[in-house]
Amino acid sequence: MVRLPQAVFFAVLTWLCGCSTPPPAEAPVDAAQAVLALVDGLGPTRLCQSDGDCAGGGQRGACSMGTCFGLLTTDSRAVRRALVDRLAHSPAAVQQAALLRLRPVCDSPTAGIATRVAVLEALGALGRAHLTQAGTERLSLRLALSDSELQVAATARVELGTLGEASALPGLTEDLSQGTELLRAEAVRGLQGYANTPQADEAKGLILGALADRSPVVELAALRACQPWAGEAQVIAALELLVSERAPHLRYEVDNLLATRKLATKGP
């Protein structure tokens, strides 16, 4: 006689009885603690070894050199981008609480440049997460367009561009033609937001032009910004020209972009 392992026996018995245990309910999100981790960080008195140590309310902050940083307490662009991405993928309750925390900072006359840039990038991410309900985020970004600090105004243009805001397109066009390497790359990122808007053809043309930029950083940013149009013959031809004549090392990026786009548009 074959004896089943005890764990298997009870699993079969449970299935036969139709009394399977329901999955445990998810713990409620502590939005205030999550925002503390994401936006403010947990302060220099807490030593950390990884982002997991900087958790609050179920959301991670960012560990750097033994300190848990949030959006308003880091000067690192890479750390800030990671935190912005986490905010964009946070539960709605956390996003709403973060918006309430960030809005007054954006309007504060004492906020430094790095802080205002972080806030504007977060507002752009929140706006993209709820594109049809981004009124508050758009208003704050529009006001920042006239900021006397060039970096702040440029960030506002880029984030408005990612939201498809028509008023930001002339500024992004100028940034792309006259800006620094980083600003040109950021401008290209902003142009991607005009897909499916009346400005789509103009934005696509600017992105394709940026594929020939003298900077490999801008070139790569332009390649990735082609994503919304990657199924079009004109764009495929431009990408193939890029890797065959100027940047063969980007073949993997191009193939990956085209394959991802094909999967995204494939019917059931």
Instruction: Tell me the three state secondary structure of residue 181.
Output: helix
Q: Yes or no: say if 135 and 123 are a contact pair by the CB < 8 Å rule.
A: no
pLDDT band with cut points at 50, 70 and 90 for residue 169:
very high
Exposure on the CB side of residue 253, measured as CA atoms within 13 A: 17
Report the pLDDT averaged over residues 233-258. 92
Structure tokens at 261: 């786009």
**From the centroid of its chain, how far is CA 211?**
22
pTM of this structure = 0.81
Q: Yes or no: say if 176 and 161 are a contact pair by the CB < 8 Å rule.
A: no
Residue that is written with structure tokens 């149009």 in the block: 229
218-243 pLDDT, tens digit per residue, is 999 999 999 999 989 999 999 999 99
Residue predicted with more confidence, 130 or 209: 209
92-143 pLDDT, tens digit per residue, is 999 999 999 998 887 787 888 999 999 999 999 999 988 767 687 888 899 8
* DSSP class of 249: G
pLDDT at residue number 119: 93
Residue predicted with more confidence, 225 or 265: 225
